[in-house]
Chain A
Amino acid sequence: MSRQYLIRRLLIAIPSLLGISVVLFAVLAMAPGDPFEELATNPAVPPEVRMALRAKFGLDDPIWTRYLHWLAAMLQGDWGFSFASRMDVDKLILQRLPVTLIVIGSSQILAILVALPVGVLAATRPYSVFDQIANTLAFIGFSLPTFFTGLLLILVFSIQLDWLPFVYRTDIEAKGWLFYWEHIKQSIMPVAVLGLFQGASLVRYVRSSVLDVIRLDYVTTARSKGIGERKVITKHVVRNALIPVVTLVALQMPIVFGGAIVTEQIFRVPGIGSLLISAMLANDTPVVMGVTFVFACLVVLFNLIADILYGWLDPRIAFR
């Protein structure tokens, strides 16, 4: 992969981040409500003082000046102050972010671990019984909304079988191996909900992508050279079939974040998704804006990673 490709791709990410920040700011600016609204009903505050306050905090400036101010503050890490948690928004988000990333990351790994073998097996035996079962299960998998699967898992594994805890706790007292075991045990259900939902749609992509590649001439060539079927599939077919799948995984990231919000809410995982919901229910606007922006940045970041991986996996597009 050429360095030029890398640099160009990095530069493309900047306008999309700016675009997203414009959209977010526009939504905030168009929203009704005035931070000094309460003062208007307070007889002790004369209107002139309110107007002076508005002017002081730049609320009367033209919209693009306000945008630039806001953007400059965001870039400097001044994300505002959370009314509900009594701390800086950036610190609050940094505290919660690792949990979300771990849950999303492990669910993606689970999704790939499920989807890859199933998709490849289904594609190598198209229209067989296995293929049809896999296809039907995949349909069921992505038609089940995450909030319902979450409740179903709780019903079965926490209430009926009493195997797994359904509330994610951060204050586990155990030490050593037991500590990790407790953490794994409480992460199983959130990760499974997200991972299986994601894996279900991935199976279909893997299958169709493998089906596209498996008919190509070079695969026939590989077979006619006497390479074993197993090796043809793993070394020749899957490597090329995965190239489009990588992009699809990244393009699905916005949906995955949506699922993460729901899962965190159900299992009370203390990540940024549940932070977003609790901030919304508490009318904590700075936190809401901050978390939404972080989600947007994560989506852009994953698109970037996908494109870079794409350029690395497929040398044909690197010098375009």
Chain B
Amino acid sequence: MAGSTPASLSADAPRVGAAAPRKSRPVTPAREAWRRFRRHRLAVASGIVLIVMFAAVALGPIIWPVPINDIDFAAKLQGPSWAHPLGTDDLGQDLLARLLYGGRISLAVGLAAMVVAVVVGILVGALAGMSSGRVDAVLMWLTDLFLSLPQLPLLLLVIYLFRDTMKGIFGVEGGAFVLIVVVIGGLRWMPVARLVRAQFLSLREKEFVEAARALGASKTRQVVQHILPNALGPVIVAGTIDVAAAIIAESTLSFLGLGFPSDVPTWGSVLRDAKDYLDIAPHWALFPGAAIFLAVLAINFIGDGLRDALDPRRVL
């Protein structure tokens, strides 16, 4: 969306809201965005689904205190029942407990990788957008280079090469977590950097920034106070989509057996274990797959809703 400038939401808000003049609360950008977001019914429904999922993985282990590695061969490969609402796997371990635990990892990886991607993207994009000339050219060349890297093979390569070192530094689970988050984030910052740069290039020539400059605002202040807040709309949307992409990436790694250690149940690794028992225990594969699908779909719909809510050109 190069060149499209989401002018400050507050500037547009009075015009949009003017249809129903009310002398009540002032219209802030956040409230206006919320009003527009609510129009996207699927996005709101997805938001509720996602909140339920987050609550489930955060509080679930308290309400459902079954250990994730409680082996019970008498109950192996059972379908859903009262004792095991989502059934059991080939060792008789409770799937609900394992999926609740795995959901923590999957969602945490998604959010953390998004933060890495957005922070790096904003830094690179802001630097390129503010310093035109050679720095800009080099940074954009770097961005294009990263865009033309084959993501999954490189992701697999880095994890393959560095797995053991990270295990030594941060422990088994921590090492895998840090490595996966950094690598997924480090390979997904490019779209954000491009968006931020394009926004900066047009915003920094706007009158309000010029006014700030004339008043003697330092470059940092110009960026942090005036330019960045106005460039954030598309970044938030891209960041939301990044969470979904990171969840898929992490599940893919675990599914291929190169993510978290195999005894840690993430959604991807439960699916990986289940794939050899598809004929006798389909529930084992269906539940983790549905969990990934539901989380990703909900996040994508929320991203779509945010796109509508934060794009000032769209009248809602």
Residues in A lying within 8 Å of B, measured CB to CB: 16, 19-20, 23-24, 27-28, 31-33, 136, 139-140, 142-148, 151-152, 154-155, 159, 251, 254-255, 257-258, 261-262, 265-266, 276-277, 280-281, 288-289, 291-292, 295-296, 298-300, 303
Contact = CB atoms under 8 A, between A and B. Distances in A.
B148 A299 contact: yes
A291 B244 contact: no
Interface stretch (B71-79, B212-220, B294-302): B294-302
Contact of A140 (B153, B158, B297): B297
Contacts of B275: 151, 266
A280 B252 CA distance: 15
A159 B153 contact: no
B260 interface: no
A27 B158 contact: yes
Secondary structure of the A contact surface, majority rule: helix
Interface residues of B, number: 45
Contacts of A292: 150, 153-154, 157
B256 interface: yes
Given A151-B275, A266-B275, A257 B153 contact: yes
A145 B296 contact: yes
A262 B293 contact: no
Nearest to A262: B252
Contacts, number: 129
A31 B149 contact: no
A16 B148 contact: yes
Nearest to A140: B297
A254 B150 contact: yes
Secondary structure of the B contact surface, majority rule: helix
A299 B149 CA distance: 7
A256 to B, nearest CB: 10
Contacts of A257: 150, 152-153
Given A20-B148, A254-B151, A299-B150, A32 B164 contact: yes
Given A27-B158, A139-B301, A280-B156, A148 B271 contact: yes
Contacts of B304: 139
Contacts of B149: 20, 23, 254, 296, 299
Contacts of B301: 139
Contacts of B160: 280, 288
Interface string B156-180: 1110111011000000000000000
Contact of B153 (A251, A266, A291): A291
A156 to B, nearest CB: 10
Contacts of A303: 148
B297 A276 contact: no
A12 to B, nearest CB: 10
B144 interface: yes
10 contacts: A19-B141, A23-B154, A139-B297, A139-B304, A145-B289, A258-B151, A262-B252, A265-B256, A280-B156, A296-B148
Contact of A276 (B156, B244, B248, B296): B156
Given A16-B144, A139-B301, A151-B289, A258 B252 contact: yes
A145 B251 contact: yes
A155 B251 contact: no
Contacts of B148: 16, 20, 254, 296, 299-300, 303
B258 interface: yes
Contacts of A32: 161-162, 164-165
Given A255-B151, A296-B148, 11 more contacts: A24-B157, A31-B162, A32-B162, A143-B244, A143-B293, A145-B252, A151-B271, A155-B278, A254-B148, A289-B157, A292-B154
B9 interface: no
